[in-house]
Structure 1
Amino acid sequence: MLMQAGNLLATTLGRSFWLRQFRLWHWVSAAFSLAGMFLFAVTGFTLNNASLFATRPETVELSASLPPDLLAAIRAMPEAGETPVPAAVAAWAAGEFRVTLDHRPTETNADEVYIALPRPGGDAWMAIDRASGDVTYRLTDGGWLAWLNDLHKGRNAGPVWSWFIDLLALACVIFTLTGFGLLWMHAKLRPATWPLGWASFALPLIIALLFIH
């Protein structure tokens, strides 16, 4: 029935029309998603075989003291809540530790201002003592592979990267559907098309039913 519907559609609108459309959208979606598909395929392998690519994270801890005027600004913050640090404190931290605190929520209590600084491939945080002005900044870096793996998962990569993943997923869907259309159009000349095509559906289903418990 599916093949009959496809043949009817091709006859109605013209085989050459559909071939042009499928080829056009297939190569456009392939060109857009080329690097992304390669990245996600490689990181899919590294994530699925994490024991083969284990690395030891490196941790760096730095400390400094707030100038008196900035300490006064920290003491003037509410004693509880998530209020970001004042702009002057954020500017000082950017120069001292090369870190961006602007608009980042805090975990503030009467004794300390704590700022979580999650990032792809590692983690970081900063703590400011509200009594002494002592500042501790701790950075953990898992290396470039951990960074790529976190990009695969969209972990702590920000909204723009999340939008890119959505666009890449859409491009991959278009690439797959137009590839299926091209297979359909050439199936009569390639007898192995449908056995291999149905195998692509059957294989993951069989594995899921038999080996995932």
Structure 2
Amino acid sequence: MTETAAPAASPPRAPKTALNGARSFWLKQLHQWHWISAALSLIGLLLFAVTGITLNHAAQIPAEPVTVEQTGDLPAPLLARLSDFPAETTEAVPDAVARWAADAFKVQIAGRPTETTAGEIYVALPEPGGDGWLTIDRASGEALRERTTRGWVAWLNDLHKGRNTGPVWYWFIDVFAAACIVFAVTGFGLTWLHARQRPSTWPLLGLGLLIPAVIALLFIH
């Protein structure tokens, strides 16, 4: 009677299964964080991309500055109160004077440093896309508010630079930048995991690094 040899046992598949499981886990995680960071940074990316172009061509984009002046008279009781204000200081004006300015000129000067002399109080009021100031004559109480704006393109450009935008926008830029970093890192991770099926991946990534490096080394002086 002839004995039939038993079929050879199949090699263990645990390592390959574990590898596929790890790849699936990272794909899921990277996709999750990639779309979340993309959603958070999408509008900011569009804003900063567009203003990158407008900043690069600022000289070619016409802007007509518009200057508006307002005048007013500080009430006598508040003017008398300024008699105790130092003759030379950078201190902010008294709160009562700041409240009057907010009502009369719709400006917030509370807590802002001044350039005070014996003759007048000057408060700089810079803003995105423009500039301004307020002066108060310490003898007569005459107040002059001047505001210059340079249009919405200048306003957007200053948002890009974070110029005169205040602390809230300052923190927004930091959070937005962090979201962009997460977006870029997770995008690289997904690229890495899919690179085997996409032969052009690494040449394109290398080109993305090479182009700015060559321009910086050869054409920036």
Question: Scaled by the length of structure 1, what TM-score is found?
Answer: 0.92
SS in 2 for 1:63: strand
Is 1:102 aligned to 2:130, yes or no?
no
Give 1:81 deviation, angstroms: 1.1
Runs of 4+ in structure 1 off by over 4 angstroms are: none
Which of 185, 190, 194 is the aligned partner of 1:182? 190
SS in 1 for 2:187: helix
Give 1:89 deviation, angstroms: 1.1
Tell me which residue corresponds to 1:202. Answer: 210
**CA RMSD of superposed structures (Å):** 1.3
Give 1:52 deviation, angstroms: 2.6
Tell me which residue corresponds to 1:119. Answer: 127
Task: Please list, as runs of the form range in 1=range in 2, the aligned pairs for 1:80-99 lying within 5 A after superposition.
Answer: 80-99=88-107
Tell me which residue corresponds to 1:57. Answer: 65
Gaps of 5+ in 1: 1-9
User: Over residues 56-79 of structure 1, what are the superposed CA-to-partner deviations in whole Å (9 max), with x where a residue is unaligned?
Assistant: 110011111111111111222111
Which of 192, 197, 201 is the aligned partner of 2:200? 192
What is the number of equivalent residue pairs in this alignment? 204
Question: Scaled by the length of structure 2, what TM-score is found?
Answer: 0.89
Q: Percent identity?
A: 57
User: Over residues 147-177 of structure 1, what are the superposed CA-to-partner deviations in whole Å (9 max), with x where a residue is unaligned?
Assistant: 1110000001011111110111111111001
Aligned equivalents of 1:190, 1:17: Cα separation in 2: 20
Tell me which residue corresponds to 1:129. Answer: 137
Of structures 1 and 2, the larger Rg is shown by 2
Q: Quick one: which amino acid aligns to residue 124 of structure 1?
A: G
Tell me which residue corresponds to 1:15. Answer: 23
Q: Quick one: which amino acid aligns to residue 156 of structure 1?
A: N
Gaps of 5+ in 2: 1-17
Tell me which residue corresponds to 1:68. Answer: 76
Is 1:160 aligned to 2:168, yes or no?
yes
Give 1:12 deviation, angstroms: 9.0
